[in-house]
Amino acid sequence: MILCKPTGQRLTVLFLSLFAISIVNISAQDVAAGKALFNGKCAACHNVFKKLTGPALAGLEQRGKWADHKEILAWVNNPAAYMAKDPYTQGLKADFGSMMTGFADVTQKDVDDIVAYINDEDAKKKSGGDTVKTAEAAPDTSNQNALIFGIISLILGIVALILMQVNSSLKKMSDDAEGIVRPEPVPFYRNKTYIAMASIVFFVFGGYMVAKGAIGLGRQKDYQPEQPIFYSHKVHAGINQVNCLYCHGNAWESKQAAIPSVNVCMNCHKAITTYEKGPKLYKDNGDEVNGTAEIAKLYQYAGFDPNTPSKWDPSKAKPIEWVKIHNLPDHVYFNHSQHIRAGNVQCQTCHGEITAMDEVKQMAELSMGWCINCHRQTNVNFNYDSTKGNKFYSIYEKFHNDIKSGKMDSVKVKDIGGLECQKCHY
Amino acid sequence: MSQKKYWQSFGEVNDSENFQKKQQDEFREELPFEGFDDKGLIDAKAPRRDFLKYLGFSTAAATLAASCKVPVRKVIPYANKPENLMPGVAKYYATTYVQDGDVVPVVAKVRDGRPIKIEGNELCSFTGGGTSARTQASVLDLYDSHRLRFPIHKTGSGKEAKYEEVPTFEQFDKLVGEAIKNAGGTTVLLTSTIVSPSTKEIIAAFPGLKHVQADAVSYSGMLLANEACGFGRKLPSYDFGAAKVIVSLGADFLGTWLSPVENAKGYATGRKIDEKNPSMSKHYQFESYLSLTGASADERFTHRPSEEGAVALELLNALTGEASTRPGIKKVAEDLKANNGAALVVSGSNDKNVQVIVNAINNAIGAYGKTIDWSKPVNYRQGIDSDFAQLLSDMEAGTVGSLLVYGANPAYTSTDAARFTAALGKVKVKVSFSERMDETTELCDFILPNHHYLESWGDAEPKAGAVSFLQPTIYPLFKTRPYQTSLLYWAGNNTDYDVYFKNYWVAKLGGEDAFNKVLQDGIKEDAAVAASAGSYSAAAVAEAVAAIGAAKKSTGTEVVLYQKTSIGTGTGATNPWLQELPDAISKATWDNYALIGLGMAKTLLGLDLVNGSEKESNNYEYFPQKPVIKLTVGKNEVELPVLVIPGMDANTIAVAVGYGRSINLGRTAAGVGKNVYPFSSYNGSTVIYHADVTAADAKKKEKIAQTQIHNSYEERIEVVRETTLATLKKYPTVIPDYRTHLESTFGKSKDGTTTDFRKEGTLYPQHDQPGIKWGMNIDMNACYGCGACVVACHAENNVPVVGKSEVLRYHDMHWLRIDRYFVSDEKDPNQLKGVVFQPMLCQHCDNAPCENVCPVAATNHSSEGINQMTYNRCIGTRYCANNCPFKVRRFNWADYTGADSFPNNQDQELVGKLDPVVFQMNDDLTRMVLNPDVTVRSRGVIEKCSFCFQRLQAAKLEAKKQDRPLKDGDAKTACQSACAANAIVFGNVHDSSSAIAKTRKENANRGFYVLEQLHVLPNVSYLAKVRNTDELIEPDTHNAAVAAEEKAGSTEKKAEEAHH
């Protein structure tokens, strides 16, 4: 808990600041909308700076007819029809081996937003700054403080003990001097007061530790099992910026985030057959990992031969037995879509800096206290006025009145019953 | 903590199957425990010290077993995820529940590829989304571990019989095809009623195939009577909603007769009361025993079963003014005449002559074309008893070469099973398509199990102009095949039925899009046409009158056979949910028994429950051991325990069919009750379901597991409110008067200014409900006690099945029960005025007595007005259950679900013996029916109704995702959606436009809360039951009860105040 709390705060600050930026700045909103659209629709095949299944999109306005966004829209809406009369896109197909998937639902505004986002990314790269990284956390000092306090207490305790011994010896000496006969003082380890105090301390401390240990049984914070394939989230979600929902799209709709099926992996890995340009990968024990060999493992499961891609039969694929990391007890109901859609919680809030992890490690404790804490602190996407926020909350008349009259400034999850047992246990 | 590969022994490393099996035993050998005997703890062979040692050891072992092992869990995604499937998100597919002619259009909830819940299809105009208990329970049949799993060829017979799997369908087809060819003779297909038009076409196309339909409980009498009256051999649609006067002559039309869901929906519309102008349909019932339908009747008259013809005839004659000495006849006839064109008479008799008379009555009262519609004849039952009799003689004569059986089970249901079995021996090739090893299938050589309906394609035409479609909701679990495919193949048409079915409907509907549309809707109904009166002819009446007049008059005791809503003709007997569903009237589970009246109890058993000693009646009521009587009809003898109930005809014993099944049907059905089909007889034209009987005291006792006696309201009668229509008209506020009284007495604040009972009646602070407040209303006038809601609750909430032995120990686990109250003359309990059904579930009290007493706060109140129960917090003190005035909390006395971490909790020697059915419910196959959104409770915790919290959460989430407020009807509880009568309304009471808010507002004169004087402030309200009679209950009488209550209430109040 102590470890994860600052991370949570840091991220909350980060998201709140992003949120604030997006409200204030209209052009930024376009960029933000463009980013969402890009991640949702384009990122599967395109990167801004790198060639993937499709070309890198930075500077696209300088290519083909793309300076005119209407042309882009026509192409995106119906690639087959557009390509028939456009030599540039015919060339693209020749280069990349396949035609782009059409998105009939994309509008002109969407295209403008996406291009705005691409240009923004491009500009950021050129200026060398990355705004996202500005929100660095303050160094974590709470642990150090605890240590210092502990050491001081211990030293003070020892000093007190010595002083008491000295006191007792001095008293004995003064008694001797005054001629009062007293029994020989018992050494402190046989002194009943000391023993009693020590037992009480031991009992309290031991009891505390036992209780704490017992409560923590079965929890698996920092659990990082070895997976059948060395799948690096850092490479995918971090360096290549594949959107979380591209693979874990289930999280958007369902209680389970679900592990992607082999065919989802193969969407990209039909084309990406080797691991070459990324940073070197290492296991926990320091062994280097051969990325290309790991991709080959995927091909084993998929029954895919990169030398004869056209012969691949996806129906022969076998599922991959991953080791489950995040486990909740059966009596807990957790719903991913509730949190990411209704609650606007980012994946990283609970799963940590996934984009920096090679093999995934359980960041959070996943204990009830941890859940409850977040429910106490998190604001609901409440519709404080009629224009913003989720309209579901419009029925909370009392809170609306309280906000108007200034009694309340925000509605937390706990205010709408987020701490009630049956929200998660039924 | 990384790099987890844990092992404790080499066995674990290799992880062989044997080792895994051994691992499941906590102790590898018998433990050297010696039982304590009578000598006391110290002198026992295992004295106190050993006891402490064991205690210490087991605590340590339990701690280790429970905690230290964190298993490595695998998560295995699809190899190729189907595009339209989202793990964790339920899909709904329209399909149709079809069982021996019963048809209910349904929607199956499929979660991660498993159907887990059945809902009614609301697009269907005649069921309106209603279901029956059997429909709700049918999903459990899919996962029945006793289903036949592959094609079987039986060799040898009797005890030598060997059942061998036939590896492929091709081999089976070859085997059977050759056998049929070699057998010669005629080939006969014996089925229960077939409602599928495409199947009928397949059967018709089978060269030389003779099709015989035989229903377990036959409706031949009606079919033949309608033919004789010029309507053709058909059954009409009945509109119970359009009838102002309904007369049932022994027809259990709400429970089992023809299409109970459809009947109940219509019936309930006529029974709902508009308070501004109170009126409701009038329901008379003439019958021999207290049926489910009779329980809802406004006025009941009993007669001998053999007098059903005489009653019908007297009623017909009374319409023309002839006098009758029989009680009720004159009044009913006058009422029928007064409501010409808005009245309906139905009869449950299977005697053609009786039905001819009933047709004559309906003609006389102008029912045809109004309440009886011949434009939409129904197909629910088509079997003709004489066809089956003819088949039997043909089989005996040896002219039947091959017999293919589907649905029918004459070796169990026929009047003379031994004769059928002998006749079957003369048939050379016997093929069964049964899903289970039923009594007839046992005798067959070739068995090719059919799919369950949830695995099948198909169609059903319940009535003319309406077709309901079946589509698979799961890949077939076993190596089974639709019987239609077999018929197609064996007729030389090498098409699978699913292809045939599709082609059939694509051609009929004119395209694939239209086909997909009807599959999506599940039902296709033609535009409504005006009701048709048909062409009635009175030609057969004279003959029928003569036949009835000439019938032998019975003077002794008679037995009548009936069906339970749960078990039906016996098809429900294999279903644990249905076996555990308490019968509406007797509240008995897991058994059939002889229902007898109070008079017969006295004469036959010397048991006087009215004037006898208190001890005598207490002994009978309190202990589950009931006296057994021996019933003898001809050669057939059956011993059954008795249940004494009011409202029985004095000379009648009623026994339910469908029990006493073969042991091969599995752990649920075997050994439950006795088979009484042999008591039915064939009169040369139709099967008759009553007989003269010799009854004798068998001088022994047997246990019956009843549920309602388990709890008591401590004589607080205000839990149920009931009145008559006449009273309601004269004194409209007779029900709410009680609350007004409470409010004016206890609602005053200290300075006497306000009268807020809610606030002033308690010392506890009020709960805030800033957003939603859930509430439920149950209309006791619409509820007729069928139990669909109880089974729906089982399915939705993973409510465990506990088996007979545990019900006997009062350990039943139903979250929702239907309490049955008899209303009778105070002095003569046999003078039954009516029966009230009260669905009782957690009342979600805003001032809940259970919440205050929980030492660990495992039950508390939510901001949405729900009384929450947190299983993982519960330590099992059961204080809450003790303090609940409604006794709706259930305790898991044993590990019924296998949810515990300790396998020992199911050890029969350590924790007591549980019935085999509990273990059947625990096997991996059956557990597939569990709802993954609801915790499976372990031993030692309390559980109770949660208002289907998972559904409320899902509805709220959906609204949030769509960025809109919650709409009325988004959240429905399982009991609400199961109810055919729409008796249950549920929703957000804060929303003034919601159905629940409106219902409460518009029914202020009937609305009440149970035990209002306790000031527990329930969130479930009820609408009082109203009997449509002229009886006037003076408010004084009502108030007498109120006064008594008030006295009790005020003492309690004082006690409570003193306590605080």
The H-or-E segment that residue A200 falls in is helix A192-216
3-class SS at B1021? strand
CATH 3.40.50.300 given to domain B152-217+383-521: no
Q: How many helices (H) and strands (E) are present in chain B, helices listed first?
A: 35, 43
- Tell if the CB–CB gap between B966 and A341 is shorter than 8 Å: no
pLDDT at B184: 84
Describe the strand order of the beta sheet including B1007-1008 as a list of residue ranges.
B984-988, B774-779, B1020-1023, B1007-1008
CATH code for residues A4-134: 1.10.760.10
Give the tens place of pLDDT for each residue, A171-184. Answer: 888 888 888 777 77
The C-alpha atoms of residue B272 and residue B1003 are separated, in whole angstroms, by 10
Residues B368-414 have pLDDT tens digits of 988 999 998 999 999 999 999 999 999 999 899 899 999 999 999 99
Quick one: tokens of B599?
Answer: 């008079």
| B957 contacts on A by Cβ (under 8 Å) | 335, 337-338, 342
Give the nearest partner residue to A342 out of B864, B868, B961, using CB atoms. Answer: B961
- The residue in chain B having the minimum alpha-carbon distance to the alpha carbon of residue A255 is B88
Indicate the SS3 state at residue A318: coil
Q: What value, to the nearest 5°, has the Cα angle with vertex B985 and ends B983 and B991? A: 160
**Minimal Cβ distance to A224: which of B2, B74, B965:** B2
pTM attached to this predicted model: 0.82
Q: Could A392 and B934 be called an inter-chain contact, meaning their C-beta atoms sit closer than 8 Å?
A: no
Do A79 and A92 meet the contact criterion of CB atoms below 8 Å apart? no
**Residue matched to tokens 């009594």:** B439
Residue to substitute from B815, B872, B880, B994, interface A, most A β-carbons within 10 A: B872
Q: What is the pLDDT of residue A322?
A: 92
Please report residues of B whose CB lies closer than 8 A to that of A262.
77-80
Q: Which of B459, B464, B518, B525 is nearest to B125 (CA)?
A: B525
B73:A392 CB<8 A: no
pLDDT exceeds cutoff 60 at B770: yes
β-bridge partners, B984: B778
Average pLDDT (B428-453) is 92
Within 10 Å of residue B613's Cβ, how many Cβ atoms?
9
DSSP state of A415: G
B501/B512 Cα distance (integer angstroms): 12
Three-state DSSP at B283 gives strand
Phi, psi of A12 (to 5 degrees): -60, -45
Pairing relation of β-strands B102-111 and B90-99? Answer: antiparallel
pLDDT digits (tens, 9 = 90+) for B909-957: 666 788 888 888 888 899 999 999 999 998 889 999 999 999 999 999 9
Condensed to tens digits (0 to 9), the pLDDT of residues B622-667 reads 778 889 999 999 889 999 999 888 889 989 999 999 999 988 888 8
Cβ atoms within 10 Å, residue B863:
20
**Contact partners, residue B584, CB within 8 Å, separation at least 6:** B255, B292, B295, B565, B785, B786, B787, B818, B820, B837
* Interchain CB distance below 8 Å, A256 and B87: yes
Q: How far apart are CA B1042 and CA B1049, in angstroms?
A: 10
Q: What is the pLDDT of residues B740-760, one digit of tens each?
A: 888 887 877 777 777 778 887
Q: Does B990 touch chain A (CB under 8 A)?
A: yes
Tell me the nearest-neighbour CA distance from A412 into chain B, angstroms.
13
Min Cα distance B131 → chain A (Å) is: 26
d(CA B816, CA B797): 11
Residue with tokens 């019975």: B554
Cβ of residue B113 closer than 8 Å to a chain A Cβ:
no
pLDDT digits (tens, 9 = 90+) for B455-504: 999 999 999 889 999 999 999 999 999 999 999 998 888 899 999 999 99
Q: Do B770 and A396 touch (CB under 8 A)?
A: yes
SS (H, E, C) B314-362: HHHHHHCCCCCCCCCHHHHHHHHHHCCCCEEEEECCCCHHHHHHHHHHH
With a threshold of 0.90, tell me whether the complex ipTM lies above it. no
Reduced to 3 states, what is the DSSP secondary structure of residue A203?
helix
Domain with CATH 1.10.760.10 in chain A: 4-134
CB B773 within 8 A of CB B1018: no
3-state DSSP call for residue B723? strand
The number of beta carbons lying within 10 Å of the beta carbon of residue B616 is 14
Q: Which residue has the tokens 């030492």?
A: B855
Domain spanning B553-710 has what CATH number?
2.40.40.20
User: Please, which residues bridge with residue B836 across strands?
Assistant: B821
Is the CB of A315 less than 8 angstroms away from the CB of B80? yes
Domains B152-217+383-521 and B553-710 share a fold: no
Please report, rounded to a whole number, the percentage of residues in chain B having pLDDT higher than 90.
45
Q: What is the distance between the alpha carbons of residues B501 and B202, in angstroms, rounded to a whole number?
A: 10
- Cα-Cα end-to-end distance for chain B: 53
Does residue B15 have a pLDDT over 50?
Answer: no
Sheet holding B343-347, edge to edge: B299-302, B282-287, B245-249, B343-347
What distance in Å separates residue B83's CA from the closest CA in chain A?
11
User: How far is the C-alpha of A193 from the C-alpha of B517, rounded, in Å?
Assistant: 87
Quick one: closest CA in B to A422, which residue?
Answer: B868
Q: Can you tell me the distance from the alpha carbon of B257 to that of B221, in angstroms, rounded to the nearest whole number?
A: 13
In the predicted model, is pLDDT for residue A136 greater than 50? Answer: no
Residue range B222-377 in CATH 3.30.565.10: no
**Cα-Cα end-to-end distance for chain A:** 26
In this model, does residue B1020 exceed pLDDT 50? yes
Domain ranges of chain B: 10-68, 152-217+383-521, 222-377, 553-710
Query: Average pLDDT over chain B, rounded to whole?
Result: 85
